[in-house]
Amino acid sequence: MASVSKPAVMRRMQEIAHVDVNCFYASAERAFNPSLEGKPVIVLSNNDGCAVTRSPEAKRLGIAMGDPWFKLRPRAKEWGLVALSSNYELYGDISARVMELLGRYSAWLEVYSIDEAFLGVKGEPDELLDLGREMKAACRRHVGVPVCVGIAPTTGTAAYSRVTYSSNFPWGVHHLTGVQGGRCCSSGP
């Protein structure tokens, strides 16, 4: 008797997407000043005392979150470092645009912070990855900011997926299945 292989069962379940704007304040500044693209950019705290956001280029220079501006200033010209004062009106506007855009993808949207949201998504694994890529492209195209997207069965595993996997790829998208989520979370610290 010949064995008959069964087709893989594709699941079409409700999942959670965690969307995070990368280097939010720096990305918001770049959205309105494209000449900052590719340059090391930091955004300073309220009193311009320390770095509160660093672009990837600034991170590669070894600038840490909270580094005091008075220690960075002497090397700023040498590094080509652009230091900007915080512009909360701009960041609020960009955040509202991102959240409005994400709301088009789901009836359930939970704004988690100024640059993060969770939303309910439904589909087969390949469809979910395509949806994540579509959200990523739409945020870049319509708002001008890069995002990472993690998709998984719960808010915790969606955030874990985005932080652990998506961040390893520039502005990435990752779908963590229930089986993977159980394995990775049980082997975590």
Which residues does the annotation mark as catalytic? 116
Beta strand 41-44 pairing with 51-54:
antiparallel
Q: What is the full DSSP assignment across 12-35?
A: -EEEEEEEEETTHHHHHHHHH-GG
Find all residues with CB under 8 Å of 14, minimum gap 6, and list them: 120, 121, 122
Structural tokens at position 154: 């719960």
Interatomic CA distance for residues 110 and 121, integer angstroms: 12
Instruction: Find out whether 42 and 26 touch, Cβ atoms under 8 Å.
Output: yes
Supply the angle between the helices 88-103 and 125-138 in degrees, to the nearest 10: 150
Q: Which two tokens stand for residue 140?
A: 């870049």
Q: What is the greatest pairwise CA distance in the chain? A: 79
Beta strands at 41-44 and 82-85: parallel, antiparallel or unpaired = parallel
